[in-house]
A and B are shown apart, each in its own frame.
Chain A
Amino acid sequence: MSTLLTIDNVHSFYGKIEALKGISLEVRQGEIVALLGSNGAGKSTTLKTISGLVRPGKGDILLNGKSIVGLPPHQIVEAGIIHVPEGRRIFAGLTVRENLELGGFTQKKKKDVIAAGIEQAFSMFPRLKERSTQLGGTLSGGEQQMLAICRGLMARPKLLMLDEPSMGLAPIIVQEIMHIIREINKQGTTILLIEQNAKAALRLAHRGYVLETGRIVMENTAEVLRGDQSIVKAYLGA
């Protein structure tokens, strides 16, 4: 498997506070990689650094061998990385369909790609089709998460980064979301996943990284991490 994303010794700062203290990781083509760790470990900052919202103070980020450090966020999306942020952040005052259309902003010259993307989203989540003219803010939490994921897929990303897709959702909805993430991966999209629910994440992922206060303290296959007693204790709440 070839490497899709390489993060090489990245340091990120919020003002003077160093949130990432030299992170290195890689995501290979076709994988689901889980990023685990407690609150404040730097998981979200890692994603924000990749998507260009936070500019790293040091280090390099490569997509297919090409550096994307310093590009504005919209060009990183064009390069093929989509970041579905924590809290979903769908456009509450726009309709479901408009939310999806904006997800396809980078494809704006190709009307057929946008139309096909919307069809795909509707077939994946028929509930979104029923609500296509409703405002995004009127959807339930689970529906909003589905919309957020579909909106991200509209850009046809090579790498889909999901920040806490199960946050605040009922267990049965979490299962549905996890199932969909696996489906999206099977159809060829590489996924980098942050999950508070480490058990669920490690069931889904091929490999995982564990972050602690801005450093990676462990990396292995999901299988090994699932069996590791210290991980289980620290993050799986067993």
Chain B
Amino acid sequence: MDILVQTLADGLVIGAFYSLIALGYTMVFGIIKLLNFAHGDLYMLGAFVGYTLLSVVSGNGSGAGLMGIIVVLFLTMVIVGAIGMGIERVAYRPLLLAPRLSILITAIGVSLFLENGSMLFWGAQYQVYPLQLSHDGWEVFGAHITYTQIGLVIISALLMLGLHLFISRTLYGKAMRAIAHDQTACHLMGINVHKVIALTFFIGASLAAGAGTMAGAYYGTVNFMMGFIIGLKAFTAAVLGGIGSIPGAMLGGLLLGMMETAGTFLFGGSWKDVVAFSLLILILVLKPTGIMGEKVTERM
């Protein structure tokens, strides 16, 4: 029982990170049919920007404080969101009408650029996060659940709730969904499609950055390659949920996090990635549309 609860709790935290990153993957794919392989690196960038900002805030040894942490999280999301928008403008927009393969290769190039750029800027070694999160918590059925874990899951849930409200209630959110259906029709409705695409990149990047900062604080160390594997995992989560589906990305991330944690418990830590990517292969073979991904039938 204690092991089950512990696995669920740990998996939920990792799953929340996967969900936040998978959302950006799925939104960008939905809107311009690009698998943005640089997306995981925006998570890494979020971790590092958060690291630098936290170092500034807590530089005099007084510690960041709760308010400081929230401000840093917010600032990081805005900064990395803007970087995501810049990447779209410089690297992807000129290729929107080019064959899909060109833009996919460009995404890989952007990924390498971000990884190596970050290595030059922040160094190749592991950096210790200037923040110690509390390990206090509750004992639930013999499992140890920390306040930090609960806080991280709540912040992630709030971010996803905010995204959901934005997508379903606001005109720009609806325009995002409409562009995923029919870009030409959106042009004809007077929608500035480029602006909406840029906004999508902003939101996707800032969610990944939020996850990055939280993960940095949670694990305690950051490294310029940390976005690579997790980008692939988030991609797996997006495919698991059904790529293009926003609720699917949220669900896929949580499921992947829990299955991975369960797999770690069953087979040992070195099998973690094997579990996740075996899952990817299984979905692609058994249900390529994912859990929530379904085709809308259109009447001609």
Cα distance A40–B188 in the bound complex, in angstroms: 22
Partner of A74, one of B178, B187, B296, B300: B187
Task: Tell me what chain A mostly uses at the interface: helix, strand, loop, or mixed.
Answer: mixed
Q: How far is the CB of A154 from chain B (nearest CB, A)?
A: 8
Give the contacts of B171-215 with A (CB-CB under 8 A).
171, 174-175, 177-178, 180-182, 184-193
Known interface pairs A87-B300, A135-B296; A105-B190 also in contact (CB < 8 Å): yes
Is A4 positioned at the interface, with any CB of B under 8 Å from its CB? no
Find B190's partner among A74, A93, A98, A101 (CB 8 Å cutoff). A74
Q: Quick check: is A230 within 8 A (CB to CB) of the other chain?
A: no
- Residues on A with C-beta less than 8 A from B192 are 72, 74
Q: Are A137 and B187 in contact (CB-based, < 8 A)?
A: no
Out of B171, B175, B177, B188, which one reaches A73, CB within 8 Å?
Answer: B188
Determine whether the beta carbon of B187 is less than 8 Å from that of A53: yes
Number of A-B contacts (CB under 8 A): 84
Is A90 part of the binding interface, using a Cβ–Cβ cutoff of 8 Å?
A: yes
Q: How far is the CA of A137 from the CA of B187 in the complex (A)?
A: 19
Contact A89–B182 (Cβ < 8 Å):
yes
Pairs A–B under 8 Å by Cβ, sample size 6: A73-B190, A74-B191, A85-B185, A137-B296, A144-B299, A155-B190
- Closest CB of chain B to A87's CB: distance in Å? 7
In the complex, the answer to whether B299 meets A140 with C-beta atoms within 8 Å is yes
Q: How far is the CB of B299 from chain A (nearest CB, A)?
A: 6
CA distance A106 to B189 in the complex (A): 8
Contact across chains for B190 and A94 when beta carbons are under 8 A apart: no
The residues in A between 211 and 238 inclusive whose CB is less than 8 angstroms from any CB of B are none
State in angstroms the CA–CA spacing of A141 and B175 once bound together. Answer: 23
A115 at the interface (CB under 8 A from B): no
Give the distance to chain A from B185, nearest Cβ to Cβ, in Å. 4
Question: A53 touching B190 by the CB < 8 A rule?
Answer: no
Q: A92-B296, A101-B171, A168-B300 are in contact. Are A85 and B177 (CB under 8 A)?
A: no
**Complex: chain A residue closest to B298, CB-CB:** A92
19 additional A-B residue pairs with CB within 8 Å, beyond A74-B192, A82-B188, A105-B191: A53-B184, A73-B188, A74-B187, A83-B188, A87-B300, A89-B182, A89-B185, A89-B188, A91-B177, A91-B181, A92-B296, A92-B297, A94-B178, A94-B181, A101-B171, A101-B174, A102-B171, A105-B171, A168-B300
**Interface pair A151/B189, CB less than 8 Å apart:** yes
Nearest chain-B residue to A135 (Cβ)?
B296
A87→B300 CA distance, assembly (Å) = 7
Task: Please give the residue numbers on chain A whose beta carbons come within 8 Å of chain B beta carbons, in ascending order.
Answer: 51-53, 72-74, 77-78, 82-85, 87, 89-94, 98, 101-103, 105-106, 108, 135, 137, 139-141, 144, 151, 155, 168
- Report the interface size class on chain B: 20 to 34
A155 touches B189 (CB 8 A): yes
> Do the beta carbons of A74 and B193 come within 8 Å of each other?
yes
- Contact yes or no, A102 B178, CB < 8 A: yes
- Whether the pair A102, B188 counts as a contact (CB closer than 8 A) is no
Q: How far is the CA of A98 from the CA of B296 in the complex (A)?
A: 16
Q: In the complex, what distance in Å separates the CA atom of A128 from the CA atom of B178?
A: 19
A135 to B296, CA, bound (A): 10
User: Which residues on B sit within 8 Å (CB–CB) of A168?
Assistant: 300
- Report the bound CA distance from A93 to B178 in whole Å: 8
**Given the complex, which residues of B lie within 8 Å of A135, measured CB to CB?**
296
Q: How far is the CB of B186 from chain A (nearest CB, A)?
A: 8
Q: In the complex, are the beta carbons of A85 and B174 less than 8 A apart?
A: no
B-chain residues with CB within 8 Å of residue A94 when the two chains form the complex: 174, 177-178, 181
B193 to chain A, nearest CB (A): 7
Partner of B171, one of A84, A93, A108, A137: A108
Q: How far is the CA of A72 from the CA of B175 in the complex (A)?
A: 17
Instruction: Report chain B residues within 8 Å CB of A89.
Output: 182, 184-185, 188
A98 to B299 CA separation, bound complex (whole angstroms): 18
Residues of B within 8 A of A91 (CB): 177-178, 181-182, 185
| Nearest-Cβ distance from residue A86 to partner chain B, whole angstroms | 11
Tell me whether A85 and B184 are in contact in the complex, defined as CB-CB below 8 angstroms, given that A78-B190, A102-B189 are known contacts: yes
A74-B193, A101-B171, A102-B174 known; A51-B297 Cβ under 8 A = no
Cross-chain contact of B177 among A93, A140, A141, A155 (Cβ < 8 A): A93
* Minimum CB–CB distance for A137 against chain B, Å: 5
Q: Which residue of A lies closest to B299 (CB)?
A: A141
Assess the B174–A51 pair: CB atoms within 8 A: no
Decide yes or no: A90 and B185 within 8 Å by CB, A137-B299, A144-B299 being known contacts.
yes
Q: How far is the CA of A6 from the CA of B152 in the complex (A)?
A: 60
Which residues of the partner chain B approach A103 to less than 8 Å between Cβ atoms?
189
Would B188 and A77 count as touching, CB distance under 8 A?
Answer: yes
A78–chain B nearest beta-carbon distance, Å: 6
Given A53-B184, A91-B185, A106 and B296 contact (CB-CB distance below 8 Å): no
Closest A residue to B173 using CB positions: A98
Which B-chain residue is minimally distant from A108 (CB atoms)? B171
Tell me the complex Cα distance, A58–B214, Å. Answer: 55
